[in-house]
Chains A and B, each alone.
Chain A
Amino acid sequence: MKANPIEDQTQKFEKGLKSSGAEQYVLRLYVTGTTAKSVQAITNIKRVCEQHLKGRYALEVVDIYQRPVLAKTEQIIAAPTLVKLLPSPLKKMIGNLANTERVLLGLDLRPKEGGAEK
């Protein structure tokens, strides 16, 4: 029962890897109302996504003031936090996403130093 979805995911992942640069990105940005940092974060992630992930991303912006329960279930401490749900591994980027280099690194859109691993 349980084995199937995992297998499916693995297959999907491997397929995705093969068709490189074509993975679907599922992102969720947790913000706190309309604070300066929140607004900056939204602007920044939109820019990055449009530039690098055009057409293959889903971005959801969540205001944790509105949905505080999510802060607990999703283990959100810092705000703003961008969570990369897919492709795995899960990654959390905290801050207003002003440092584009680091955002790209977090989104696995920049090859890490030392070349490709595996």
Chain B
Amino acid sequence: MKAKAKRNAEPVSEALEKAAMGIPGLDEITGGGLPKGRPTLICGSAGCGKTVLSMEFLVRGAVEQGEPGVFMAFEETEEDLTKNVASLGFNLRTLTAQKKVVVDYVHIERSEIEETGEYDLEGLFIRLGHAIDSIGAKRVVLDTIEALFVSLPNEAILRAELRRLFRWLKDKGVTAIITAERGQEAFTRHGLEEYVADCVILLDHRINDQISTRRLRVVKYRGSIHGTNEYPFMIGKEGVSVLPITSLGLEHAASELRISSGVPRLDAMLGGKGYYRGSSVLVSGTAGSGKSSLAAAFVDAAARRGERCLYFAFEESQSQILRNMRSIGIDLEPAVRAGLVQFHAARPTLCGLEMHLLEIHDAIRKLKPKVVVIDPVTNLMSTGTGNEVKSMLTRLIDCFKTEQITAFFTSLTSGESAPEQTEVGVSSLMDTWLLARNIEANGERNRGLYVLKSRGMPHSNQIREFVLSSQGIQLLDVYVGGDTLLTGSARLAQESREKAAASQRQQEIARRSRELEREGQAIEAQIATLRAGLEAKAEQFKLEIAQDSRRQTALLEAEMKIGRSRMADSAMGLGGKHKPQRNGV
């Protein structure tokens, strides 16, 4: 990094030095400010903010950059100027007292002037020179020097003197702004761009569909790169702000953290963990599909985590949203009272697009929220063309991402267009896109929700039925029967049918198992009978064997008795026994 900075430092010393304007956005466009020590021309039609812009350049220079300045006014008196810029938060009186700013009102009454011969504008030079020297001014504004063309009759002398004046300003080394009225064909009515050619900034005030937008363009900037687009700008409570406020790079860090959507089932659909922190979420759907409810659930969840949330409502007022969300069991009121949730409700047509953008920026800067809801983003469409809205949203999303703010947009899809198409064409900028749709069948309308895309996480591809009740938001499985989805009462009917079928099945199983048990018992009984029979047989058998052996013994005894009685040679034993038996046979 250090080496890089050093390498960069060398050409910078050669390059054009710049005087920072201190105006948010303008310094980015001009790459650091106006050319230092050179005059810059700011031209535009009446009421487009030339005086305010140049005054802010002067005041910010005096206060923030330590460069005192001279404001030479040809159109407004010191009094008027002081009053006018006080509304922007600049206190000219104090700055004048502190010798940071000198205001010199040049007034020429045409009727008092009589031209009597050759003259020059040395008087003006002396005045300006004196003012510059008295406070050591580094910045000068001449607003609007063209007024001289009206008061002084000799244009040839005037032109020559103006040429001399700009050269003189350059020699003095002051950074100067010369303002001029926009001409019909040229940039300025009197062709001042011929003399002041280093930097030309064009201001414009256009009205499109009754909504006015101020725009700024750097037409020319010698020796410096600059943004060439037309940038919207606003004169707000704190002066001029030019967009872009953030750079348009894609350099934001992506967070690995996940936060709940406020609907547990939806978290489950999004890989089980919800949205990524700092991502942008879009919910699109037709009217009444539950977009705002999802937004409220998200805000509620964030507030419960103790995070600050900003809710930009372009359709409903704060109390209306609070009331409506209470009806679905989301009570945001305590969070609002605790200052965690802030509502900004405004009609989108109240002001131009850039005004909204700046208001959003301002609110973000003040509250530093973690979650921002814009409901609905499509309403901003009415304030600008598609391209403008898209570029505004690009900037907005860019800002959210750099600030690690999770942004939640709702988008209203009209009946005719395809639901997969957002009217503002911002879907490609979104990380997570939920589609809420109405499913119409069997004479009812039910809400469905699915995840159209969700970058960087596995997500469910199924449609869920989306039920809003006083208990909050629930996502239920839908039944897919044949080629139709079953939702609402059809789903309930299907559910009860399935329940009935299930209980029937259970009963059947119970019956079967009882039957089986009974059968088993019968078999057991049979086995027992058989075994009893067998045992009886065995008993009989044993009895018979015992009887038989008793008979044998008795026989033997009888034989021996006979033998004894016949021969009386008992000493012969068994042998004697056999012989007489054989003999007997």
Contact = CB atoms under 8 A, between A and B. Distances in A.
Interface residues on B, range: 20 to 34
Contacts of A40: 117-118
A28 interface: no
Interface in B86-116: 104, 106-108, 112-116
A41 B129 CA distance: 23
Contact of B122 (A79, A90, A96): A79
B130 A79 contact: no
Contacts of B118: 37, 40, 95-96, 98
B152 interface: yes
Contacts of A92: 112-114
A75 interface: yes
A64 B123 CA distance: 7
A105 B123 contact: no
Interface in B275-291: none
Nearest to A81: B123
Interface in A51-97: 64-65, 68-69, 71-72, 75-82, 89-97
A81 B109 CA distance: 14
B116 A75 contact: no
Given A77-B106, A77-B121, A78-B121, A32 B116 contact: no
Contacts of A64: 122-123, 126
Contacts of A15: none
Contact of A71 (B108, B114, B115, B126): B126
B112 A30 contact: no
A102 interface: yes
Among A95, A98, A99, A103, max chain B CB count under 10 A is at A95
Contacts of B115: 93-95, 99, 102
Contacts of A35: 122
A44 B116 CA distance: 10
B123 A77 contact: yes
B124 interface: yes
B29 to A, nearest CB: 35
Nearest to A79: B122
A82 B112 CA distance: 11
A75 B107 CA distance: 6
Interface of A: 30, 32, 35, 37, 40-41, 44, 64-65, 68-69, 71-72, 75-82, 89-99, 102-103, 105-106
19 contacts: A37-B118, A71-B123, A71-B126, A71-B130, A77-B124, A77-B152, A78-B119, A78-B120, A78-B124, A79-B119, A91-B112, A93-B113, A94-B119, A96-B116, A96-B119, A98-B116, A99-B115, A102-B115, A102-B116
CB-based closest 3 A-B pairs: A95-B117, A68-B130, A98-B117
